[in-house]
Structure 1
Amino acid sequence: MMPELGILSGTSAGGLIVHVEGERCRISPADVRALIFSGRPAPVVRERVRRASGTVMGEVTIEGYAALNAAGKAVVIRTREGTWIVPLVSLRRVACGEATSAPLFSEVQV
């Protein structure tokens, strides 16, 4: 069985959008820079818009985090939906605008 793919895409401001399992989360530009250059974990957040009694309410929640793996060559993204991995070089290319997207691979449990 092939693991399901996710997609990592960039924003015009330098942030990242994480598309996995029908969910769309994001990593802010400042957090992307801290992840790439300092190795600091970055929160993965999701915006939800709710409509209640004619009022539109926005809510931002932290859904997980992105961090370098132990070898420092890949980024592991953990969310409520699961764990995903992308090579650091691919993440950098998307964040810098050199590539429009990169595949996220589901981490296979053995």
Structure 2
Amino acid sequence: MPQNAVRTDSPARGTAHPTWWRAPLVATLAGLPFLVLEFHWFRSQDGLGSLGGIFYWSSGLLALAWVLPRRRSLRTPRMLISGAGLGCVMLPVLFALALGMAMSSG
């Protein structure tokens, strides 16, 4: 075999995850409109306030789901991080809905 020949059976090729992008894409597409809504909602109230940490955590978790290495062994952590990011995005919205329902039922 010549020295400059390219090997197609390299171990790195077998460990690449071909659909690594699905979990971050689903979480981002579902959470991004709510993330923008929350940002405008928080900014209209003179800053992020007490829920600002949730905004930063959700943004950070969604970004981390995209930048994880594309190995098959990181499929589960990528899904968990995407789900946690989506959960953090939805937390203020669900809290506001629950608070509105509690106030209207009294």
Q: TM-score, normalised by structure 2?
A: 0.25
Q: Which has the higher helix share?
A: 2
* Relative contact order higher in (CA < 8 Å, ≥ 6 apart): 2
Larger-gyration structure (1/2):
2
Q: Which has the higher strand share?
A: 1
Q: TM-score, normalised by structure 1?
A: 0.25
